[in-house]
A and B are shown apart, each in its own frame.
Chain A
């Protein structure tokens, strides 16, 4: 059992799931090693900046509309506040919510706090946050600084909680603890599960929890035909909404890299069934996913009808796109499972996947379920591909891209697209994880890729004038020159 809500802290992914950040080879080998638990991480001696758990924890918490998040950290750790504010505001506009800034506060730890401890300041900040916003809950995210000096965050939180009478939730997400920034998602969910979600009062038979980031509402349309109601979590929810997560009929996730811990824990602790299947991307993945969902909510017949009608609906358009995109090759760089999802969609479009880079790899998910194994699903359904696991090491990626010369570079993580542009490769950032979802998602992708390839003048011109920050020596080396150790036994 990997999930124990009694623990203050959660086990990081390296320990819980055996997750790794270094691999290069065939996707099939990686998949085989994963299920046999013989996977070793391969470390790099040279590295470029990665990301940390603090950012991923805050990305799930910052947009809970009636909570406040306190970042117990020096001021640089709030570098992502403005971006979360932008996401919050655009999301509010789309959802017709009242437009307001994110409620994020930094304790702004300084030298004096490092010496004498930051607890007093944290207590003061919690009170201030309460007075400013009268929130329904306060989340406190930790940092490398607060972690190393050993601030008693639990102590401060308990004290404030008894005074203020609202849940105050510590989220332990120090950056140095895990190489896998997705651990921050788990940390946020751990806190929500521990202190916000309540045991169910009335079980619903049609509300479906959807663990997602902040994409558009693609589910309502699909679910309407099945009589189901989507409950998007966690961004753009309220505390009351989160309290009732235990009452849903099922939990689905757009990406199990994001939701593995949350969905498994909701099933284990509150009996909300998790839809266990490959991700709903690509035709077969969506088929399996829909059938599993239908099975859980007792809508098997409706699902079969939906599958037939949806496939018929996209058939002609899909064929047209396949013709237009024939012979094109792509390179994919994305978070683990979403990367596998993108590969499925590309394969459906008949695009050759000339290489893929995922930011980490979880050999297993928290549910230990084999049908949920997205990499195995890709390999079994679409065949083997060359796969790299690297935590945003752009020097490796640029070296690879430079060799592969794809027709399109598909990225899911900000800050990486520039490398495609500098090499003159049409580059498409997937900002909305729901964009490629289901049967319609294949069409969405195909059209967008076709548009991008049709006019690539911007990146072509740029590439003539911009310079890569890499030496000639490096671009001529094996891309995995700095990757040590062995992948398997």
Chain B
């Protein structure tokens, strides 16, 4: 286990942020066995301050919670948990319940498995995960709860559906654009004849789609590291093959590569894939061409180097896009998601060969104070484009640079279904980056 840093300007929260993973599953109800403030702090940080994403069906102040008191710490909180699960089953209108523990329960050592088993024995659709905040960050929490749900509730009915693909990609809410991104992935895969089981968000099918997981033809991990463990688990449980595409595809160059890789893996007729790519690229470049007059003729300064301060998903995805599609040059990339050591060489490799002849320096740092200190060393000689979170806007000004918030926390933008994945995602990102630059001249 890596030694954890102290963190200024946090860009993710603790394992209990897994509550947002549950909120993202339609009609799934999280039940927290945690202190009174945990849930609302997580909601505030991971949802409200992530582009003002709302409560959803059962997030925010609706989440059942035991609200640990001193009594529960001293005498144990199992009876309280039993009571709250019992109440939640009566009050909350859901298809599936997931108990998540916080620091208090995990330190005290409540036997949550035992309490939950009393309900599973009564055929209540319920699972649990021990997500005490000290165990890790939001990304770890997301994986922990996925693992728990799969291990505790998903059974193989023996059926296999040709063309059905489970998607393990961006982390709901932690990626402020998750809802739109997952829909975009779904559309892309539909474009080459696959049916994506996106598992989270709008029209994803709720718990029913989770039950279909074993029936998929393959698992697709569109991520540098989050979800790899899940694909491995599903392979060992259900024998499902899996493909990892280590960056989220943004813009034409990467999206076309992505579709080809998926097409090959799924044995889809190359012609179908090529045709879809051709059609998409044609409309992509129609619009990108519109930007050329501005991009080539704007006289008042455009960024000299780009610096990402984001998780590995976005740092890789955006770096590839800016280098390949817009010919921008990278400065230094800061990866903030505390990616485990075993995945770091894969991440670095992605950033070393961004585009022919273009590579970038990369640091794995979660402490924003240190990141800012390092960025200051570059000074203002590059007119830096800083793509990070709201924490970074002052620094961009200080360095005579430009700034766009794309990673949590985002309190300077409202996000509904905007997405950056895919062909149109690349166009959106282009619009957003340059609109923000133009805004800085106002």
Q: Which residues of A contact B (CB under 8 A)?
A: 45-55, 73-83, 85-86, 99-101, 104-114, 121, 124-125, 128, 132, 143-145, 148-149, 175-177, 179, 181, 391-392, 394-395, 414-416, 418-419, 467-474, 482
Output the least CB separation between A365 and chain B (Å). 23
- List chain B residues, Cβ under 8 A from A78: 7, 10, 13, 41, 45
CB-nearest residue of chain A to B65: A49
| CB-based contact B62/A469 at 8 Å | yes
| CB-based contact B46/A49 at 8 Å | no
| CB-based contact A474/B7 at 8 Å | no
Output the least CB separation between A330 and chain B (Å). 20
CA distance A88 to B115 in the complex (A): 43
| CB-based contact B43/A415 at 8 Å | yes
CB-nearest residue of chain A to B77: A176
CA distance A474 to B89 in the complex (A): 10
Q: Which residues of B contact A (CB under 8 A)?
A: 1, 3-10, 12-17, 29, 32, 35-46, 48-49, 54-55, 57-58, 60-70, 72-73, 83-84, 86-88, 90-94, 102-104, 107-108, 132-137, 366, 369, 390-391, 394, 408-409, 411
CA distance A17 to B138 in the complex (A): 38
CB-nearest residue of chain A to B73: A176
| CB-based contact A75/B133 at 8 Å | yes
With a 10 A CB-CB cut-off, give which of A81, A467, A468 has the most chain B CB atoms: A81
- List chain B residues, Cβ under 8 A from A105: 6-8, 369
CA distance A481 to B408 in the complex (A): 40
- List chain B residues, Cβ under 8 A from A75: 7, 10, 12-14, 133, 137
Contacts A/B (CB < 8 Å), 21 sampled: A46-B86, A47-B87, A48-B63, A49-B64, A51-B36, A75-B7, A75-B14, A78-B7, A79-B49, A81-B409, A82-B44, A86-B411, A110-B134, A125-B6, A128-B369, A149-B107, A175-B35, A181-B36, A395-B91, A415-B60, A471-B91
| CB-based contact B104/A144 at 8 Å | yes
Q: Kindly identify which residue among B9, B29, B42 contacts A79, using a CB–CB cutoff of 8 Å.
A: B42
Output the least CB separation between B146 and chain A (Å). 18
| CB-based contact B7/A108 at 8 Å | yes
| CB-based contact A148/B36 at 8 Å | no
Known contacts A55-B40, A111-B1; is-contact A144 B87 (Cβ 8 Å):
no
| CB-based contact A45/B134 at 8 Å | no
CB-nearest residue of chain A to B30: A49
Known contacts A45-B83, A75-B137, A106-B6; is-contact A175 B37 (Cβ 8 Å):
yes
CA distance A467 to B95 in the complex (A): 14
- List chain B residues, Cβ under 8 A from A148: 73, 103-104, 107-108
| CB-based contact A74/B411 at 8 Å | no
| CB-based contact B55/A474 at 8 Å | no
The 3 closest A-B pairs by CB, nearest first: A46-B87, A52-B37, A79-B45
CB-nearest residue of chain A to B83: A45
Q: Kindly identify which residue among A109, A175, A181, A418 contacts B68, using a CB–CB cutoff of 8 Å.
A: A175
| CB-based contact B6/A469 at 8 Å | no
CA distance A45 to B87 in the complex (A): 7
CB-nearest residue of chain B to A472: B93
CA distance A408 to B137 in the complex (A): 40
CA distance A181 to B16 in the complex (A): 20
CA distance A83 to B410 in the complex (A): 10
